[in-house]
Amino acid sequence: MSSIRAAISQVKRQLVLNRVFSVLLNALLIFGLCAVILELLGLSWYYGGLPALLYFIPMSVKKVREVKLKEAEEKIPQLEWQLRTTEDTIGKENEVVESLHQRVYQILHNLKSSYLVDGKTLSYKMGGVVALVGIFFVLSLFQVVLVDMARPNALADLFSKDPGSGLFGNENDSLLRSTYGDRDIYGEKDVAQLGSDELDLELNRENNEQDYDNIKDAQNRDFNTKGSLGDIGASADASYQEYIDEENKILVKNYFEKLAED
């Protein structure tokens, strides 16, 4: 009696796990799709967890409450009506009921849990999750942003006809912005205060004009001779004066005269 009850409980537990896992994959698909969209809009992908969480919690509770043994009977045709009949007759004792319980227990005992799993549907969902994750990482790596909603007046700029902005902007500017992003590099347009006064500017070109009529030919000079450069000498700057007492002045003068004689 206890063995058939445990077997029925195991079947229900497996059905519950299958449904929760299926709902979890659906939530991951929602999260991945929202993350990709938010990345294209220049917003934080963390916000994608909110709709996924709002879907997962109530849907999990709903799916768990809907678990019926009929679902297992549809996956295992040889147990059609027998699982539900066995559950309804638990606690009763007669030869027919005991024979039914024994037969159902033998089938469940030799049955693998994989028979209750819809492998095809789960594989499709897992493939979708992997694909969305790959797309998200590519967008993040190359910083692809179609519309930067994080900027002020982003919706107004979206439909602007100004060159290089909105849906009607220049193609090259749009490509550059989608490749490298344009977050927080333009600043706010309303900060610029443009005046209405006119300024008359005039460039005086006369001072910069060259007199081409007064051009002299280059003079040939011989730099090999000593006197070609004229008298070139060095003198101390007037700002430099060193105080030397009288006795030392005489010694310094005699020293330099001695050097001149040598």
- Within a domain: residue 134? yes
- Within a domain: residue 24? yes
Tell me the average pLDDT across 103-125.
87
Q: Is the pLDDT of residue 94 over 90?
A: no
pLDDT winner (highest mean) among 27-31, 175-179, 195-199, 220-224:
27-31
- Within a domain: residue 256? no
pLDDT of residue 180: 47
**Alpha carbon distance 247, 260 (integer Å):** 20
CB 128 within 8 A of CB 136: no
- State the DSSP string of 231-260: S------TT------HHHHHHHHHHHHHHH
**Same domain assignment for residues 42 and 62:** yes
**Same domain assignment for residues 76 and 20:** yes
**Same domain assignment for residues 53 and 173:** no
**Helix H or strand E segment including 97:** helix 95-109
- What letter does residue 145 receive in the DSSP assignment? -
Q: Is the pLDDT of residue 138 over 60?
A: yes
- Within a domain: residue 244? no
What's the predicted TM-score (pTM) here?
A: 0.58
pLDDT band at 237 (very low <50, low <70, confident <90, very high): low
Please state, rounded to an integer, the average pLDDT across all residues of the chain: 78
Least confident of 10-14, 30-34, 106-110: 106-110
**Same domain assignment for residues 12 and 98:** yes
- Within a domain: residue 99? yes
- Picking from 183, 204, 237, the residue at the C-terminal end of a domain is 183
**Same domain assignment for residues 14 and 125:** yes
146 residue type, one letter: L
**Same domain assignment for residues 73 and 134:** yes
**Same domain assignment for residues 106 and 131:** yes
- Within a domain: residue 205? no
Tell me the average pLDDT across 155-167.
55
Tell me the average pLDDT across 86-94.
87
Burial class (CB in 10 A: 0-12, 13-18, 19+), 39: buried
- Within a domain: residue 262? no
Q: Is the pLDDT of residue 61 over 70?
A: yes
- Give the HSE-up count for residue 27: Cα atoms under 13 Å, Cβ half-sphere: 18
Number of domains in the chain: 2
**Same domain assignment for residues 33 and 114:** yes
CB 123 within 8 A of CB 109: no
**Same domain assignment for residues 8 and 137:** yes
- Within a domain: residue 18? yes
Beta-carbon count within 10 A of 20 CB: 17
**Same domain assignment for residues 80 and 127:** yes
pLDDT band at 187 (very low <50, low <70, confident <90, very high): low
**Same domain assignment for residues 124 and 155:** no
Q: Is the pLDDT of residue 168 over 50?
A: no
**Containing structural domain, residue 147:** 143-183
**Same domain assignment for residues 127 and 159:** no
